[in-house]
A and B are shown apart, each in its own frame.
Chain A
Amino acid sequence: MFIKFFETLREKGLNVTLGEWLDLQKALEMGLIESSLTQFYYVARMILVKSETDYDKFDMAFEECFKATQRETEVGAEMLRWLDKSDMLELAHEEARDHLNKMEEAQIDKEDVEQKFKDRLKDQDSEHNGGSFWIGTMGKTSFGNMGGNVGGVRVGGATGYQSAFSVVGARRFRDFRDDRVLDNRQFQLAFRKLRQFSSKLDIPETELDINSTVDKTCNNGGCLQIVMQKPRKNAVKLLLLMDSGGTMIPFSALLNDLFQAVHKSNHYKDVKTYYFHNCIYSHVYKTPECDYGDWVETEWMFRNLDSDYKVIIVGDAAMAPEELWSKDGNYRGPNDGLTGYEWLSLIKKKYKKVVWLNPKMAPGHAPWREAETAIKEMFPMFKLTVDGLNRAMTKLMTNK
């Protein structure tokens, strides 16, 4: 059953490593789980899952594997109340210690205990304390709370956990999933990935490295010895091209957030933003309104923004096929005799790193979306979600 849980977790996309899995086994061995499914849920989660964005995946895997065991092990709230006798704890400890000594060598058959526990869970209808048959406190049966028996089933405890399944069922962590469409702060965090601190870049050593200078000088017996270093600066330049066509209107709030996030992330060497309508032709616009004349030539952009700019194109790529392949351009302006597809190819040729972010990208292969499929082949396309944006940023930073 546990191996299956491990496999299900990995199936759901959780990157559980063997080391973490062994830690969980260790926790089980040490008896930290106290035979409660709910406790097991929390302990497994805290050991195996390392980000709240993955809680939801964990919940789903957990539900899949342990749903079947729920009925049998659920302990009624009423019973937990009978067992909650924390004020008598001290007394129970005394008694338990005596009893433990006697029981130390006794063999306990786990299955047998569990079976009896389930049977009695069904039959018991009142509170029992100190007896030796029913589930109760300070008794000598194998189950219950503060009992003297070793190796039995412990029911609840001073705390009384919330049922694992009421937690799982509510799916409270759905909002943290990293494949949901994102908000401003998460945008900003993703953009922080675009950093290339440049002490490794090819620039002159212009800064005084104080620490090394002090160290060298001291090692030199007090004779000053200066050490210079390259300044650490972010070398990333960003070119943002945003679609503000009609089909993008439902996403305007999202794009606004994205725009804000880029401009709040003031750690770039340079950021340039231009707009286009459905597809890029001979001109790109300076404002989202895409007014006639308020533009720069795309050629000018090529000349002035060198190939080191990292290009992010945001658009739904939902133009009609003729907008991509016709030489006549769209109604907003001329296209200088080249099709939209050719203009996009020019961008791909000019800039080393280009990604396309699409807020409504089709999952998987969607040949009926002709334009989207064609563009997907040209540029790496990512859905505009936390996960997609992160992957796009990684794409922009790596050489693969």
Chain B
Amino acid sequence: MNNEFSSTQEYVASEELMASVNIAIALKKPLLIKGEPGTGKTMLAEAVAKALSKKLIIWNIKSTTKAQDGLYVYDTIQRLYDGQFGEEGVDDIARYIKLGKLGEAFDSDEQVVLLIDEIDKADLEFPNDLLWELDQMEFYINETKRTVKAKHRPIVIITSNAEKELPDAFLRRCIFHYIEFPSRELMEEIVKVHHPNVEQNLLQNAMDVFYAIRGIRDIRKKPSTSELIDWVNALQIGGISADRIKEALPFIGVVVKKDEDLELAKHETY
């Protein structure tokens, strides 16, 4: 089977990015992906899983997520209920241990791709709490005295929006890649992957406006790749002719989301 990752039909990856993925797989280290919002960090994991035909397990991190949640949860409440109603098997704690996403990835019978999405959203200490587990690919369940060890080392992809700095000890163990904002050529390729039949003129004009807006100095929120893709879609569905894009800025709300930015965009692109 092909064990190298390359661009797929749905996902256009730069050569650097492809190299990072392959190195991370070869060195058996987690791959840490950083980049502006909307540069396709999350989609990368999907593309990798698809290209290598492996199962994808997504662990979405929220501000309240704790490292323990990813390993296992001991459902004490369920056990209490069962105990009160005299259900069968209350003695067996293992019945109330629910593996988290990381646990699931370790316990899987085949190698999986594990995506830890937006790790920077969690508490500052969160990454440090996972060091041992990601290094050794195993953890210990206190309640049942069982060690869960990865049968096949999962391919771990971690994304971060750089909202918080990650601890050094954690960074040392990762392969790092920063997704740059796509250049015009790459962008054209990306849009065409999503909208293969887009009219060249329309795309060029839309990209002119898009990069002009990104270039405005005081812009509050820079529009991202996914917003351009949505906009091109809107323009196509709305049947807007290419030459009207620059003067009327139709459906510009898809790209620009803030009132102040809208004013600026209208003002600057004239």
The judgment on whether A and B are partners is yes
Alpha-carbon separation in the docked complex, A12 to B98 (Å): 48
* A to B contact number (C-beta, < 8 Å): 66
Q: Is the CB of A189 within 8 A of B176?
A: no
Partner of A51, one of B19, B80, B163, B176: B176
- B101 surroundings in chain A (CB, below 8 A): none
Q: How far is the CB of A201 from chain B (nearest CB, A)?
A: 17
Q: Is the CB of A214 within 8 A of B77?
A: yes
Q: Is the CB of B23 within 8 A of A222?
A: no
- B211 surroundings in chain A (CB, below 8 A): none
Q: How far is the CB of B244 from chain A (nearest CB, A)?
A: 34
Q: Is the CB of B176 within 8 A of A46?
A: yes
Q: How far is the CB of B8 from chain A (nearest CB, A)?
A: 15
Q: Mark A30-67, 1 if CB is under 8 A from B, else 0.
A: 10100000010011001101111001000000000000
Is the CB of A349 closer than 8 A to any CB of chain B? no
Alpha-carbon separation in the docked complex, A52 to B34 (Å): 8
Chain A's interface size range is 20 to 34
User: A residues 1-43 with Cβ under 8 Å of B?
Assistant: 15, 17, 19-20, 23, 26-27, 30, 32, 39, 42-43
Q: Is the CB of B163 within 8 A of A189?
A: yes
Is the CB of A218 closer than 8 A to any CB of chain B? yes
Given contacts A27-B23, A30-B26, A215-B76, contact A161 B15 (CB under 8 A): yes
Q: Is the CB of A27 within 8 A of B26?
A: yes
Given contacts A172-B180, A214-B77, contact A43 B15 (CB under 8 A): no
Is the CB of A192 closer than 8 A to any CB of chain B? yes
Interface of A: prevailing SS: helix
Alpha-carbon separation in the docked complex, A32 to B168 (Å): 25
Q: How far is the CB of B35 from chain A (nearest CB, A)?
A: 8
Is the CB of A304 closer than 8 A to any CB of chain B? no
Q: How far is the CB of A53 from chain B (nearest CB, A)?
A: 10
Q: Is the CB of A43 within 8 A of B172?
A: no
Q: Is the CB of B178 within 8 A of A52?
A: yes
Alpha-carbon separation in the docked complex, A161 to B19 (Å): 10
Quick one: which of A42, A50, A162, A192 has the most chain B CB within 10 A?
A50
Is the CB of B16 closer than 8 A to any CB of chain A? yes
- A159 surroundings in chain B (CB, below 8 A): 15, 18
Partner of A214, one of B18, B76, B162: B76
Is the CB of B164 closer than 8 A to any CB of chain A? yes
Q: Mark A161-195, 1 if CB is under 8 A from B, else 0.
A: 11000000000100000000000000001001000
Q: How far is the CB of A210 from chain B (nearest CB, A)?
A: 11
Q: Is the CB of B176 within 8 A of A42?
A: no
Chain B's interface size range is 20 to 34
Alpha-carbon separation in the docked complex, A51 to B164 (Å): 12
Q: Is the CB of A47 within 8 A of B175?
A: yes
Partner of A42, one of B16, B24, B76: B16
Q: How far is the CB of A307 from chain B (nearest CB, A)?
A: 27
Partner of A23, one of B16, B27, B163: B27
Alpha-carbon separation in the docked complex, A192 to B29 (Å): 29
Partner of A43, one of B19, B80, B168, B178: B19
Q: Mark B179-199, 1 if CB is under 8 A from A, else 0.
A: 010000000000000000000
Q: Is the CB of A50 within 8 A of B171?
A: yes
Alpha-carbon separation in the docked complex, A330 to B137 (Å): 66
Which residue of A has the minimal Cβ distance to B32? A50
Q: Mark B43-81, 1 if CB is under 8 A from A, else 0.
A: 000000000000000000000000000000000110110
Q: Is the CB of B20 within 8 A of A46?
A: yes
Partner of A39, one of B19, B34, B79, B172: B19
Given contacts A32-B26, A39-B19, contact A50 B174 (CB under 8 A): yes
Alpha-carbon separation in the docked complex, A51 to B32 (Å): 10
Partner of B176, one of A15, A17, A50: A50
- B164 surroundings in chain A (CB, below 8 A): 192
User: A residues 208-229 with Cβ under 8 Å of B?
Assistant: 214-215, 217-218, 222
- B23 surroundings in chain A (CB, below 8 A): 27, 32, 43, 46-47
Q: 18 more A-B contacts (CB under 8 A) besides A51-B176, A222-B83?
A: A15-B168, A23-B27, A26-B27, A27-B26, A30-B26, A46-B23, A46-B175, A47-B176, A50-B168, A52-B34, A159-B15, A159-B18, A172-B180, A189-B162, A192-B163, A214-B77, A218-B77, A218-B79
- The 8 A-B pairs at the shortest CB distance, nearest first, are namely A50-B171, A52-B178, A218-B76, A50-B176, A218-B80, A46-B20, A46-B175, A159-B15
13 example contacts (A-B, Cβ-Cβ < 8 A) are as follows A32-B23, A43-B19, A46-B20, A46-B24, A46-B176, A49-B176, A50-B176, A52-B34, A55-B178, A162-B15, A218-B77, A218-B79, A222-B80
